[in-house]
Structure 1
Amino acid sequence: MALNVHQLHIFYTVAERGSFSAAAQSLHMTQPAVTMQVQALEERFGTKLLNRTTKKLELTEAGHRLLPQARKAVELMRDTDIMMVKYIEELKGRLQFAASLTIGEYVLPRLLGPFLRRFPEVSVDMKVMNTTEIIEAIAHHGLDFGIIEAPCDVPGFDVEPVMDDELLLVMPTEHPFASRDEITLEEALNEPMVLREKGSGTRKIMEDEMLRQGVPESRLKVVSEFGSNGAVKSAVEAGLGLSILSVWTIKHEIALGLLKPMRIAGVSFRRQFFAIRLQSSLLPMPAAALLHDLRELSHE
């Protein structure tokens, strides 16, 4: 009987997830089907790979030996998908994923249009939620992957950078600085600021760079804080103050002549967006194709 790579993937998922039920959930299989495939693998090798008890699942010595080989097989299948996705001409299926606020509201809607025109037989179900909710949804509710605004270290998950982002100083087009290409950091610090709430990815990028420039938070003239980019933009348009926002969030306002983005001399607010998924997962081809397009866009 030939070695079945699909069975290796199932075994690896069971070992990584720690139970047949959790593995079945992430593989979109029934638990009996997962159990049957692991048993078939055990029959092929003529040895037990897992000890099943009422409390937990443990690898046998043979299972420990097989696990790194199974991991290599999964990584090879994943790398093969990445390599071949550029040659795909037709895709079908449902793409289920999640994105954090800025990405989900401003970045991906602009990018999904060309993707769906290229693959009209693909349908998209994108949820907008915070990073903690995304991890939970991937682990327990069958989402394929998530796009988040900051790296995180979560056991059992792979996190990789897929896109670049830049934050810029934003002001109304009638502001006295609006005719210039850039302003000094000191000039910016003398202006009232309207910012995202503390704890948001956008706020953290700004605070980290300010600290790198030797500027403590107390130097900022923060007059208002809001829980969404839309509220911040409205406040800036109304003249409440300047702000620091992702270039992705202000494209519409720039086109309408409502806001003017500007760089602060010697200051760079740059970050990356990251894809997160289960280590044991093999992405459906529509998901692999979308992540490939996001990576390619970042290198243009």
Structure 2
Amino acid sequence: MRINYDFSDLEAFLAVKETGSFHLAAERLNLSQSAITRRIQKLEIALDSVLFERTTREVKPTLAAKRLQARAEAILEDARETALAMRDESVAFKHQRNAVVTVAVIPTVVGLLLPKAIKMFRQEGYGARFRFLDHNANAVAEAVAKGEADFGICSIPELEPNTQFEPLFDDPIVLVFPTGHPFENRETITWNDLSDQDLIVPARGTGNRLLIDEAMARARLPLFWSYEVRRSSTALGLVEAGTGLALLPRSAVIAAPTSSFGYAPVLNPSIVRPVGILGRTGHNATASEEAFKRIIRTIAGEVST
């Protein structure tokens, strides 16, 4: 069944029913009397029922009108509640959007940058909440490009055509060893020194592994490894347990909560990854977002010096 009337027709009906007059109903709704008449006629045609008996002296509601009144009131009340709910949800969403900063970030720089940045952000009086998406470098770039994150912190420059990379600092790949290991007293470590070691390396498909594989290919050196892991925290745990030596970004090591291991850069060749802020072209940043990026730049400047 097709519905050929709308809320305005029901409003006109209720106004006539309550005032007992087309003229008074028109005044209540700030409409002409002819507009009220057209709406009632439209409703009567749609319902195939006469709603009012009209004489020169009075407007008398029919039985159909009396039956319609409760339903019309319920329909309009539901419509008002729906409109209010949608408006409230829109306001809430807007507030949340302004109050939440979403940052996609590679896990290896979380400990180095985020805790201090959040503390400084709060000290400056900002109250925004944060949503952190800890992804690998490729996923960080994708989250920024798709608008799932306001910005990213990653180690791979522009992978997507609508992103822009702002370098923060260079992050060398280092060899991590347990305290007391013979490498602790070495001034330099080369890749040839690692041929007989149980190496823990980043898993294939990660940005760090890509850097290592490309460097080895350019230098025409083999990479002999014993363990592949996806998380730097896993690699550090294995090193601490004496399982092997790990190749990790320095940022992941210096922010670790334990001092039971040491690290040193590996030379010939050395491997350095750029860490920076990845933004989306055309994105309008909020004041909270800009403040947080400014603070991250400050901390990154301290790391690079």
The equivalent residue for 2:42 is none
The equivalent residue for 1:36 is none
1:264 is displaced (CA, Å) by: 2.5
SS of residue matched to 1:164? strand
Amino acid at match of 1:228: R
- Gap change, CA 1:250 and 1:153, over 3 Å in 2: closer
Residue by residue over 1:201-223, the C-alpha shift from the partner in whole angstroms, topping out at 9 and shown as x without a partner, is: 221222223333331xxx22211
Residue number among 279, 282, 287 corresponding to 1:277 in the alignment: 279
Q: Percent identity?
A: 23
**Counterpart-to-counterpart distance in 2, 1:130 and 1:176:** 32
Amino acid at match of 2:197: E
1:292 is displaced (CA, Å) by: 2.4
**Counterpart-to-counterpart distance in 2, 1:108 and 1:274:** 13
1:271 is displaced (CA, Å) by: 1.4
1:161 is displaced (CA, Å) by: 2.1
Residue by residue over 1:57-99, the C-alpha shift from the partner in whole angstroms, topping out at 9 and shown as x without a partner, is: xxxxxxxxxxxxxxxxxxxxxxxxxxxxxxxxxxx94322221
**Counterpart-to-counterpart distance in 1, 2:214 and 2:138:** 21
2:145/2:163 contact within 8 Å kept: no
2:163/2:278 contact within 8 Å kept: yes
1:131 is displaced (CA, Å) by: 4.5
2:128/2:288 contact within 8 Å kept: yes
The equivalent residue for 2:248 is 245
Amino acid at match of 2:274: Q
Residue number among 142, 149, 169 corresponding to 1:143 in the alignment: 149
1:198 is displaced (CA, Å) by: 0.8
Whether 2:235 is the aligned partner of 1:232: answer yes
1:192 is displaced (CA, Å) by: 2.0
1:98/1:146 contact within 8 Å kept: yes
SS of residue matched to 2:177? strand
2:175/2:247 contact within 8 Å kept: yes
**Counterpart-to-counterpart distance in 1, 2:157 and 2:290:** 20
**Counterpart-to-counterpart distance in 2, 1:170 and 1:187:** 14
**Counterpart-to-counterpart distance in 1, 2:117 and 2:223:** 34
1:100 is displaced (CA, Å) by: 2.4
Higher relative contact order, structure no. (Cα contacts within 8 Å, ≥ 6 residues apart): 1
SS of residue matched to 2:282? coil
1:111 is displaced (CA, Å) by: 3.2
Amino acid at match of 2:172: E
The equivalent residue for 2:171 is 165
Whether 2:289 is the aligned partner of 1:287: answer yes
Amino acid at match of 1:289: A
After superposition, where does 1:28-177 map in structure 2 within 5 Å? 93-104=99-110, 107-135=113-141, 137-138=143-144, 143-177=149-183
Amino acid at match of 1:220: L
SS of residue matched to 1:155? coil
**Counterpart-to-counterpart distance in 1, 2:185 and 2:295:** 36
Equivalent residue pairs, number: 207
Residue by residue over 1:25-67, the C-alpha shift from the partner in whole angstroms, topping out at 9 and shown as x without a partner, is: xxxx99xxxxxxxxxxxxxxxxxxxxxxxxxxxxxxxxxxxxx
1:163/1:297 contact within 8 Å kept: no
- Gap change, CA 1:263 and 1:277, over 3 Å in 2: closer
Please tell me the root mean square deviation across aligned C-alpha atoms, in Å: 2.8
Largest Rg, 1 or 2: 2
- Gap change, CA 1:165 and 1:118, over 3 Å in 2: farther
Residue number among 173, 183, 186 corresponding to 2:192 in the alignment: 186
2:117/2:299 contact within 8 Å kept: no
Whether 2:212 is the aligned partner of 1:206: answer yes
**Counterpart-to-counterpart distance in 1, 2:148 and 2:189:** 47
SS of residue matched to 1:221? coil
**Counterpart-to-counterpart distance in 1, 2:132 and 2:168:** 17
**Counterpart-to-counterpart distance in 2, 1:135 and 1:263:** 27
**Counterpart-to-counterpart distance in 2, 1:194 and 1:157:** 32
**Counterpart-to-counterpart distance in 1, 2:269 and 2:181:** 20
2:168/2:275 contact within 8 Å kept: yes
- Gap change, CA 1:131 and 1:200, over 3 Å in 2: closer
> TM (normalized to structure 2)?
0.59
**Counterpart-to-counterpart distance in 2, 1:137 and 1:185:** 35
**Counterpart-to-counterpart distance in 1, 2:184 and 2:163:** 44
Listed as ranges, the gaps of 5+ residues in structure 1 are 1-28, 31-91
